[in-house]
Amino acid sequence: MEASAGLVAGSHNRNELVVIHGHEEPKPLRNLDGQYCEICGDQVGLTVDGDLFVACNECGFPVCRPCYEYERREGSQLCPQCKTRYKRLKGSPRVEGDDDEEDVDDIEHEFKIEDDRNKHKHLAEAMLHGKMSYGRGPDDEESSQSQFPPVISGGARSRPVSGEFPISSHAYGDPTLSASLLKRVHPYPVSEPGSARWDEKKEEGWKDRMDDWKLQQGNLGPDLDDYDPDMAMLDESRQPLSRKVPIASSRINPYRMVIVARLVILAFFLRYRIMNPVQDAFGLWLTSVTCEIWFAFSWILDQFPKWFPIDRETYLDRLSLRYEREGEPNMLAPVDLFVSTVDPMKEPPLVTANTVLSILAMDYPVDKISCYISDDGASMLTFESLSETAEFARKWVPFCKKFAIEPRAPEMYFSEKIDYLKDKVQPTFVKERRAMKREYEEFKVRINALVAKALKVPPEGWIMQDGTPWPGNNTKDHPGMIQVFLGHSGGFDTEGNELPRLVYVSREKRPGFQHHKKAGAMNALVRVSAVLTNAPFMLNLDCDHYINNSKAAREAMCFLMDPQVGKKVCYVQFPQRFDGIDKNDRYANRNTVFFDINMKGLDGLQGPVYVGTGCVFRRQALYGYDPPKGPKRPKMVSCDCCPCFGRRKKQKSAKHGASEPASLQGMDDDKELLMSQMNFEKKFGQSAIFVTSTLMEQGGVPPSSSPAALLKEAIHVISCGYEDKTEWGLELGWIYGSITEDILTGFKMHCRGWRSIYCMPHRAAFKGTAPINLSDRLNQVLRWALGSIEIFFSRHCPLWYGYKEGGKLKWLERFSYANTTVYPFTSLPLLAYCTLPAICLLTDKFIMPPISTFASLYFIALFMSIYATGILELRWSGVSIEEWWRNEQFWVIGGVSAHLFAVVQGLLKVLAGIDTNFTVTAKSSDDEDFGELYAFKWTTLLIPPTTILIINLVGVVAGISDAINNGYQSWGSLFGKLFFAFWVIVHLYPFLKGLMGRQNRTPTIVVIWSILLASIFSLLWVRIDPFVLKTKGPDTKQCGLNC
């Protein structure tokens, strides 16, 4: 399929298929051949005196005045060629560093340094060198002769996966295949040219000494000249591609011992609490004991899956030696990458564009990568921004690969505050980087113009550039659309190199059909990619998660392509890392406790859970297939003397089969083939091409399919009625039935016996954005918790699902999945437990009886075991104590707000069928760093924690006022209640700061009103004492006086 084939739109149900041509204007690339300014390509221009403008007086490197001013103001103030600092020229404004120079124009005094003849000669030679060397790197002449490998085709049945759309076949093993494309990783050092003589002398002396020593020892081995480096590399390539790195026993064993001790102490503590009720506050005591039992149960579900934490190492050099051998076709497996987006107003097109650019520039063979963009909102803004992104990728991708920059998302790369010259040795890097930054800024302006244009929708709907109405004007009723932006023909960069494929997909939507939101969009991408490229592995990313490590796909292949362990791996999950979070991480957005502790623990069991993004899947696992079984032990064959009839029965059945007519056998085979075909259609849908692709374990597309047939079939598989009466969403693909389809999808695979891998490379594989605002963060947590509630009340509940599959899900793994569905219910006891301190302070009651010296040991031991568990956990995981404490605080904040609303909403949805939505109203915030952090957005989720904060603060004021009023003897019982109340307030402190607004800028009116209300309430409390039992004065029932 060619990239210029046009936008394909159609509906299988309505028998419509339209190809829209000419909707894109040809965008000629600007000529940057260095005729004028070597940075921007404009004319150098003249000075105010009419002479040729010369920016650098030392080498004369041709630069125009705008680039010169930009470099002095924003850049390093150095000449790109000779690295001499730019001096201020006549008419140029002063910048930092000009104070050391004389207050004169340097161009008027330049001839005082050298004589005229030498200076003009030097200037002319430098300018000529700048003209001749522009755009050439040290290896350009060699790289210009390199050939690109054609599409590899296999036998007659299927074409081995290359990731290309089928248009023509090429011979296998084409002699034009060049190994210069592939970046080899050699583990053995190679001597530099010119050092052979020195190496030879050094080798001879070392060899003589080693031979003398071996002769003395009597074990002189074979001559070192027989050493074959090729054999050593072959042995290296046969080594495992990864390995487990167990946690050091000095760190993990004390951790396990403390867990066991804490479990025993917890049992004794609960026994003491149950056996010692408080009679005058029985309701408070019963509530507190019930909450503590639930907390213990929840802790067990969370703690024991972390019993076997492990780390992992990957060996990218071995992967390259095994699958990228010099002189042979590249054998790395193709990867289809999925990016999903819905609303470009909530998910900015520039963010999506950066994600796509990072994918197209990743360090992986270009013919093995296919990027699919799912636009579930059918937005013309997304379509046009993707067109602009494809054009900019022609310049961005070669720049990234030439200079090996990281990260390869331009917005993040140019905004990094680091020394971008570190480890860069190419002399043209500064010049090309500055030119690329200008290109990206122009690209951003074009995207911003598209966004501004999309704010005002025309009354007649959007019109494409050729006058055709945009097929997706009605977002709820539109045909399916497919557009190949980069493909077989037209997918080349500015240097003529091939680019990865980039495909726009918008599935069909019609009224009356259930579309299943993100899960349905991902399943549509699975089918489209299977028809067009059918790579055996798939990587899915959210539109705001860019590739931060260009070798991320290679890291995953070290597990998935490992011959020993890869066949049973269903997916490789990477941790989520985020940009744009304040250094204090007030609302635990980084979630490092989960990603660096819990996920490591699960990796030692059956593998981590799927978290929705940054995950590389095996396609066969998503199709509902079981993992390959290991070799079984052969059954014992009975002898004739034993009274067993296994052999006789087998012989009898063989004789019976031989006596049947051949015609009947043929009829049975035809029936079995027909039934098998019907079963496949019932399972995967009525698409012959797609069903055929599901049988190709190693991927590939049928060689007999034409591009037109593939396009028609691709439109078919994204039609809104394709999944009817199939197993999509039930047993195949992303599973329906919950907002958190990611947890459900991974759970189904683990129940079939697959295992997953947790990969944590030193450089984070992916980075995204997180909602740093309090209200947005709570709504995100609400969505996750509501999904867990839906799973709990569905047939996929981990408490009872999966036993029929033969117990393939390990028990501790089941504990973890049970915890992911049960944890929102902890909000009910947590809410009650956070309210108890205020009630105790206001009623002068307590949840515990007077504690003896022996009983106090239970409390001391329990608190010590809790903190010891946390400290040892931080010790083996590497998580900081600040991150752990932020996680504890937000556990309370989210528990009494988002989790509580999720339980209520889930019960209403499951039991009564009522779907409740919580809206967020945003106010304006300052446009500066972390301005969104301090924006106040009111939502009903803020009511419960605000209420708990107020009643606990009121309780503290009331308790202290009562103690002051009653004297010294009442302070003893007050300390336990105050400690309990302060525990709640300290955990809700980040929430309180979120209510107050900007750090160190708490509104004055809030402070004044807080002090005034607290003072008035304290005075009234001391005077009235409404909840404290009166103990002074006569008893009217005994004396009979009516006072």
Element (H, E) at 17: strand 16-20
β-sheet with 546-547: strand ranges across:
546-547, 766-769, 577-579
The gap from C-alpha 208 to its chain's centroid, in whole angstroms, comes to 56
Instruction: For tokens 């999808």, name the residue.
Output: 745
Backbone angles phi, psi at 112, to 5 degrees: -80, -15
Within the chain, how many helices (H) and strands (E) appear? 33, 15
- Nearest-angstrom CA–CA distance, 80 and 69: 14
Element (H, E) at 666: helix 662-684
Check residue 742 and give left, alpha or beta (phi > 0: left; psi -120 to 50: alpha): alpha
**Residue-by-residue DSSP string for 517-586:** HHHHHHHHHHHHHHHHT--SEEEEEETT-EESSTTHHHHHHHHHT-TTTGGGEEEEEPPPEEES--TT-T
| Bridge partners (DSSP) listed for residue 46 | 52
- Give the residue among 667, 624, 598, 592 at the shortest CA–CA distance from 523: 624
Backbone angles phi, psi at 193, to 5 degrees: -60, 140
Indicate if 742 belongs to the active site: yes
Among the residues of 335-425, which ranges form H helices? 349-360, 380-403, 410-415
- Nearest-angstrom CA–CA distance, 346 and 352: 11
| Beta-strand relationship, 369-375 and 501-506 | parallel
- Collapse the DSSP code of 755 into the 3-class scheme (helix H, G, I; strand E, B; otherwise coil) and give the result: strand
- Collapse the DSSP code of 155 into the 3-class scheme (helix H, G, I; strand E, B; otherwise coil) and give the result: coil
Indicate if 1035 belongs to the active site: no
Contact between 902 and 298 (Cβ < 8 Å): no
Q: What is the dihedral of CA 112, 118, 121, 123, to 10 degrees?
A: -30
Contact between 900 and 890 (Cβ < 8 Å): no
**Which of 302, 542, 596, 742 is flagged as catalytic?**
742
Report DSSP state, residue 927. Answer: S
**Which of 376, 493, 544, 596 is flagged as catalytic?**
376
Calculate the alpha carbon distances from 379 to 278, 341, 472, 507, 512 in Å: 64, 10, 7, 12, 21
Amino acid at 650: K
Report DSSP state, residue 942. Answer: G
- Nearest-angstrom CA–CA distance, 958 and 425: 70
**Residue-by-residue DSSP string for 635-646:** PPPPPTTSS--H
Element (H, E) at 480: strand 480-486
Amino acid at 70: Y
- Nearest-angstrom CA–CA distance, 131 and 61: 9
Backbone angles phi, psi at 471, to 5 degrees: -60, -20
Q: How many residues does the chain have?
A: 1043
Check residue 165 and give left, alpha or beta (phi > 0: left; psi -120 to 50: alpha): beta
- Nearest-angstrom CA–CA distance, 252 and 463: 64
Prior bond to 407 cis, omega within 30? yes
Residue 506's CB is within 10 A of a number of other CB atoms, namely 28
- Give the residue among 397, 410, 383, 301 at the shortest CA–CA distance from 818: 301
SS3 of 342-366: the string is CCCCCCCHHHHHHHHHHHHCCCCCH
For the chain, the distance separating the N- and C-terminal CA atoms, rounded to the nearest angstrom, is 100
Catalytic sites, residue numbers? 376, 742
